Structure 1
């Protein structure tokens, strides 16, 4: 009887400990706050400052009609594979990669920008002009990127040919180390990777993107059209909150830093510098900006027939955002 009593006490202790732990977890883990029964919207991203509005939208949690899940990827090809196959509903992605997917028959629409500006030409401290880059390695994140077009335009405007430098594709996170070690003479890429080299005095700014190509388009918020059509109310609410998150991101205050740092492991001084170069308060994709991008893609021979503005850009959601 005494043994049975001890077993009963032990069983009750295990029960109460299990209950207490689960209760504590539900109060601190955001995943457990997901509303069962609501549609979960999955949006892909890479941990860069160009996706800050997404981070803030997730952290603010002001959406009511859906659950938001941000899905982190380590590379653009991985993200595009998930987007193209429908494993995610949308993404903050290089606009040119999404345009290429659209050209290949993937039913996507660009509904907003991820940011404006924030693509800086960072070079070694021994480089003082575009001419100094001749014959040297220069890193870009992807052949199909606005960064590659920026490199082409920068060289052209400084009397050089694209072939005068050795453009190499490199994961953004590797670029600061490659510059520091002398493996490349410079790079142009999404933030915060440019600011990393500058903040530790291993590189300097040769040009800002607006010096070369004013109002260039880089990362965009892209959604699958099956999601937009089947979940139109949710898509609208998602974009509503995204626009508000962009306005909050533009404050670039301590709250913005705190929320962003949960998705990017970066020092505060680096993030401060990144925020100086980038803006988030005007995220509508304008037709004239998009057409200039199309023309540049054709001029470089990267795409024969980039999708037209009317085929690829859906501005109806951001026009209705409130």
Structure 2
């Protein structure tokens, strides 16, 4: 009998993965943060059968297993199922597997209980280069879609001095964007031991599960949080806080979550991979066409993929009023003509390079030494496989369908 899980490469069994996640801050501890490793796959979670073999074991197998965290970041993966787009591609897909934390998503993927998931892009960098998980980003899942929500009465980032702010994950665009805002305001983030000081201009950062953020803000245990929607929309609708700044107004059309698949499956099952990625790309095009119908599809009024109420999901997918948010300062770049959340699948190399560079300057609680050895200019080639998304974009009508440049290249725009 092998001394490691046969579904996990020998050099990274389940226990090693969990140690890596703990050491790198994936699994939180304490009230309201990510569940501990012993609870990674709870009984009420819809998990795929762990006895299933590697997705790369049978090139002719039409089955596709989808895993997701119940936030609007998962929209393309879910819409592709709800609209029957996987099935149109000849794939056999059961209802996507709902997972309860980023740690669960990582373990389910690594254990090959699912074939495709959405991950925070910085988290994908971490898993690929720190834990050596053989994954590849096949497409962006969405752009923007996040904001810094703060307690009512806070109108400037500088007012967060001496308080505690929550992030969903250390290696996230949320933490990167938040620390860009802090630097502009003259604030210093602190993690781990220590207390924030208003006079010193320090802010305590903590990792917190997104569903716990609005209650914590309402109770006053945190002064704000930066996270994906619909949790910013929830705070707005409940009038427990307001959006101080959209992350997409700090970094134009930044990727947040990305679609990730197993590297060997992409090599050994090209037809299956082509059909899978095309379904995702067609889903993004459909969501762009009718975001309100998508909100209904995702909510209990439709397929019930997400637990949040339909008004919050609809607001998260559509509400980006320049008059309202321009006056409050949440939008400071109306000339960017972007959206609250955008959907386009192409993974720009320029973004990967700049993201890694910014991650190297971002404070986290945990081991970050893997970043020191990364060359931002070469990470994209090791992390991203864009063969299938290029084919899919052409299949649905070309880059113009997503308002992308024909040459599929861009320069990053960051302005705090």
TM-score normalised by L of structure 2: 0.66
- What displacement does 1:46 show? 0.4
Cα distance in 2 between the residues matched to 1:250 and 1:52: 11
Which has the larger helix fraction? 1
Alignment partner, residue 99 of structure 1: 125
Q: Per the alignment, in what secondary structure is the counterpart of residue 285 of structure 1?
A: coil
Q: 1:213 aligns with which of 233, 238, 251?
A: 251
Q: 1:296 aligns with which of 337, 346, 358?
A: 358
CA root-mean-square deviation: 1.6
Alignment partner, residue 266 of structure 1: 308
Q: 2:234 aligns with which of 196, 200, 203?
A: 196
Alignment partner, residue 316 of structure 1: 387
- What displacement does 1:267 show? 2.1
Cα displacement string for residues 185-209 of structure 1 (whole angstroms, at most 9, x for unaligned residues): 0001111111100111111111111
Runs of at least 5 residues in structure 1 that lack an aligned partner in the other structure: 1-36
Aligned residues: 285
Cα distance in 1 between the residues matched to 2:269 and 2:163: 49
Cα displacement string for residues 15-35 of structure 1 (whole angstroms, at most 9, x for unaligned residues): xxxxxxxxxxxxxxxxxxxxx
Q: Per the alignment, in what secondary structure is the counterpart of residue 88 of structure 1?
A: coil
- What displacement does 1:38 show? 4.9
1:184 aligns to 2:207 (yes or no): no
Q: Per the alignment, in what secondary structure is the counterpart of residue 165 of structure 2?
A: strand
Cα distance in 2 between the residues matched to 1:60 and 1:268: 18
Alignment partner, residue 45 of structure 1: 68
Alignment partner, residue 5 of structure 1: none
Which protein is bigger by CA-based radius of gyration?
A: 1
Runs of at least 5 residues in structure 2 that lack an aligned partner in the other structure: 1-59, 191-201, 319-339, 396-416
Cα distance in 2 between the residues matched to 1:258 and 1:230: 37
- What displacement does 1:258 show? 2.5
1:144 aligns to 2:171 (yes or no): yes
CA contact (8 A) 2:292 2:317 kept: no
CA contact (8 A) 2:146 2:228 kept: yes
RCO (CA 8 Å, sep 6+): is it higher in 1 or 2? 1
Cα displacement string for residues 34-78 of structure 1 (whole angstroms, at most 9, x for unaligned residues): xxx953211211011111111111012233432124211000011
Cα distance in 2 between the residues matched to 1:144 and 1:194: 20
CA contact (8 A) 1:43 1:92 kept: no
Structure 1 residue runs of 4+, over 4 Å off? none
- What displacement does 1:184 show? 0.5
- What displacement does 1:288 show? 0.9
- What displacement does 1:211 show? 2.7
Cα displacement string for residues 87-123 of structure 1 (whole angstroms, at most 9, x for unaligned residues): 2212111111221111122111101111111111100
After TM superposition, the structure 1 = structure 2 runs for residues 21-40 of structure 1, keeping only pairs within 5 Å, are: 38-40=61-63
